[in-house]
């Protein structure tokens, strides 16, 4: 009769590792790798979600790269791309300030991280009220005597993406902030004390201690933020559904696949977006590669 205890230590170790890995690996394959493989397959068909899948080769990819309608929406991603740097700068600034001895620092940490805990749909509706005509923002501007600057924040194609990018900054800055704060907090205190003894002020500590110590974390945050900017969906879809020139590439992809029933073309767009994100990530890794 088989007894687990009769196995050698190495055999028991391998069996335990395999048993503990089966479930997560099965879930990963089922919900990640198989859907991605299917997406690649669908991208070479003219499937509409119900019909038989007819192989069309690279026709969907030729449509994407030859019809300006599908790539022009990447201009909208530029707003989120530049907003990424504002978001990173603010997160690093607040993380640095709150890493020093500041009164009510725990309260401010909670305030800054709280928006990231909120549901994206709730944030979308909240900012709809914030930006609507005679809404919260207009009321604040009128109170401050700045009524002449009031705009149709979500109705003017010239500023709608700035409004949405600002909402995105408010939504995601807490995530970058908490990662920066954790990295800065891991720097030993005696390094700061030695720097103070040598006459270093706070700016010198930031420039010569904090920045070099969290270089890897800045790289990670930058990759996550830019990848997120290229695949922006939640905020613009909930607040405007892509109206008034706010349609991003992901919203365009979802509309093509599910609103217009072109699952094959939508899958090809998703593959193109995935490749762009991978290429951008590789370029960033190359750029930040250490000597």
Q: Tens-digit pLDDT profile for the chain (291 aa)?
A: 667 777 788 888 888 899 999 999 999 999 999 999 999 999 999 888 888 888 888 899 998 888 888 777 878 888 888 898 899 899 999 999 998 888 888 899 999 999 999 888 889 889 988 998 888 888 998 998 888 888 888 888 889 999 999 999 998 899 889 999 999 988 888 888 888 888 888 888 888 888 888 888 888 878 877 788 877 888 888 888 888 888 888 888 888 988 888 899 999 999 998 898 888 878 877 776 654
Q: Which residues contact 70 (CB under 8 A, 6 or more apart)?
A: 63, 64, 252, 269
At 93 the pLDDT is 92
Residue 284 vs residues 225, 226, 281: alpha-carbon distances, Å: 12, 10, 5
At 290 the pLDDT is 55
Tell me which residue has tokens 């700016």: 203
* Domain 60-288 -> CATH class: mainly alpha
Question: How many CB atoms are located within 10 Å of the residue 270 CB?
Answer: 22
What does the domain layout of the chain look like in residue ranges?
4-46, 60-288
At 289 the pLDDT is 63
And the tokens for 36?
A: 């991605």
Distance CA 240, CA 227 (A): 22
At 284 the pLDDT is 73
Q: Which residues contact 142 (CB under 8 A, 6 or more apart)?
A: 150
Distance CA 179, CA 176 (A): 5
At 9 the pLDDT is 83
Distance CA 127, CA 167 (A): 7
At 285 the pLDDT is 73
At 282 the pLDDT is 83
């Amino acid at each position: 009769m088989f007894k687990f205890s009769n196995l050698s230590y190495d055999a028991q170790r391998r069996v335990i590792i395999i048993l503990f890995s089966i479930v997560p690996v099965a879930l990963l394959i089922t919900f990640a790798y198989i859907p991605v493989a299917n997406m690649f397959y669908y991208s070479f068909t003219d499937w509409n979600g119900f019909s038989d899948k007819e192989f069309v080769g690279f026709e969907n990819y030729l449509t994407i790269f030859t019809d300006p309608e599908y790539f022009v929406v990447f201009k909208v991603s530029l707003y989120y791309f530049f907003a990424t740097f504002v978001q990173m700068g603010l997160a690093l600034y607040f993380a640095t300030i709150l890493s020093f001895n500041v009164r009510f620092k725990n309260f401010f940490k909670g305030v800054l991280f709280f928006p990231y805990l909120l549901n994206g749909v709730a944030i979308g509706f909240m900012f709809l009220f914030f930006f609507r005509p005679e809404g919260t923002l207009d009321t604040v501007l009128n109170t401050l005597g700045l009524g002449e600057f009031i705009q149709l924040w979500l109705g003017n194609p010239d500023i709608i993406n700035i409004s949405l990018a600002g909402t995105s900054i408010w939504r995601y800055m807490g995530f970058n902030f908490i990662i920066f704060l954790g990295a800065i907090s891991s720097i030993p205190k005696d390094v700061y004390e030695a720097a103070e003894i040598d006459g270093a002020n706070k700016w010198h500590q930031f420039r010569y201690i904090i920045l070099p110590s969290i270089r890897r974390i800045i790289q990670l945050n930058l990759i996550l933020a830019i990848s997120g900017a290229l695949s922006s969906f939640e905020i613009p879809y909930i607040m405007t559904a892509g109206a008034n020139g706010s349609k991003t590439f992901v919203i365009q992809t979802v509309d093509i696949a599910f609103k217009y029933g072109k699952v094959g073309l939508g899958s090809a767009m998703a593959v193109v977006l995935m490749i762009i994100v991978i290429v951008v990530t590789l370029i960033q890794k190359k750029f930040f590669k250490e000597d």
